[in-house]
Chain A
Amino acid sequence: MTDMTQGGAPLAATQDSYMAMVRQKRLYSGIAILVFVVLLVSGFRVANDRNAGGFFDGIHRIFDFPADVVGEAWEKRADLAGLLWKYLPDLIETLNIAAVATLLGAALGLVLSLLSTRGMARWPVLIPLFRRIMDVTRALPEIVVALVLIYMLGGGPIPAMIAIALHTAGALGKLYSEVNENADLKPVDGLTSVGATWSQKMLLGVMPQVAPNYLSYGLLRFEINIRASAILGFVGAGGIGYELRNSMAWGPGRFDEAAAIFILLFVTIVVVDQLSSSLRNRLSEGAKQ
Chain B
Amino acid sequence: MLRIEQLTKRFGANAAVDNVSFTIDKSAMIGVIGASGAGKSTLLRMINRLADASEGTIAFQGRDVTRLTGSARRKWQSECAMIFQQFNLVPRMDVVSNVLHGTLNRRSTFSTLFNLYPTEDIHTAIEILDRLGIADHAPKRAEALSGGQQQRVAIARALMQDPQIILADEPIASLDPMNAQIVMDALRRIHEEDGRMVIANLHTLDTARRYCDRVIGMRRGRVVFDGTPDQLTTGVARDIYGAGAEFSEAATSTDINALAEARHAVTA
Contacts and interface: CB of A to CB of B under 8 A. Distances in A.
Interface in A1-48: 1, 3-9, 11, 14-15, 17-19, 21-22, 25-26, 29
A168 B11 CA distance: 43
Contacts of B173: none
A11 B126 CA distance: 8
Given A14-B126, A15-B122, A18-B126, A29 B185 contact: no
B119 interface: yes
The winner among B119, B132, B133, B182 for most chain A CB atoms within 10 A is B133
Interface residues on B, range: 20 to 34
Interface stretch (B19-27, B135-143, B258-266): B135-143
Given A11-B127, A11-B130, A25-B115, A19 B122 contact: yes
B92 interface: no
A15 B138 CA distance: 9
A97 B119 CA distance: 61
Contacts of A4: 131-133, 182, 185-186
A11 B135 contact: yes
B96 interface: yes
B115 A14 contact: no
Given A4-B182, A14-B138, A29 B115 contact: yes
A1 B186 CA distance: 8
Nearest to A6: B133
Contact of B136 (A1, A14, A21, A29): A14
B135 A14 contact: yes
The winner among A5, A17, A18, A26 for most chain B CB atoms within 10 A is A18
Contacts of B130: 7, 11, 14
Contacts of A19: 119, 122
A6 B130 CA distance: 9
A21 to B, nearest CB: 6
B268 interface: no
Question: Is chain B's interface secondary structure helix, strand, loop, or mixed overall?
Answer: helix
B143 to A, nearest CB: 16
Contact of A1 (B96, B115, B185): B185
A18 B186 contact: no
Given A4-B186, A7-B130, A18 B122 contact: yes
A36 to B, nearest CB: 13
Interface in A129-146: none
B135 to A, nearest CB: 5
B110 interface: no
Contacts of B139: 17-18, 21
B67 interface: no
A15 B133 contact: no
A26 B122 CA distance: 14
Interface in B140-187: 182, 185-186
A129 B31 CA distance: 59
B107 interface: no
B61 to A, nearest CB: 31
A15 B126 contact: yes
Please name the 10 residue pairs, one residue from A and one from B, whose CB atoms are nearest each other, closest first: A4-B133, A8-B136, A15-B126, A14-B135, A11-B130, A18-B138, A3-B182, A15-B123, A6-B133, A3-B133
7 contacts: A1-B185, A6-B133, A18-B96, A19-B122, A25-B115, A26-B115, A29-B114
Interface of A: 1, 3-9, 11, 14-15, 17-19, 21-22, 25-26, 29
Interface of B: 96, 114-117, 119, 122-123, 126-127, 130-133, 135-136, 138-139, 182, 185-186
Given A21-B139, A26-B116, 5 more contacts: A4-B185, A11-B130, A11-B135, A22-B122, A29-B115
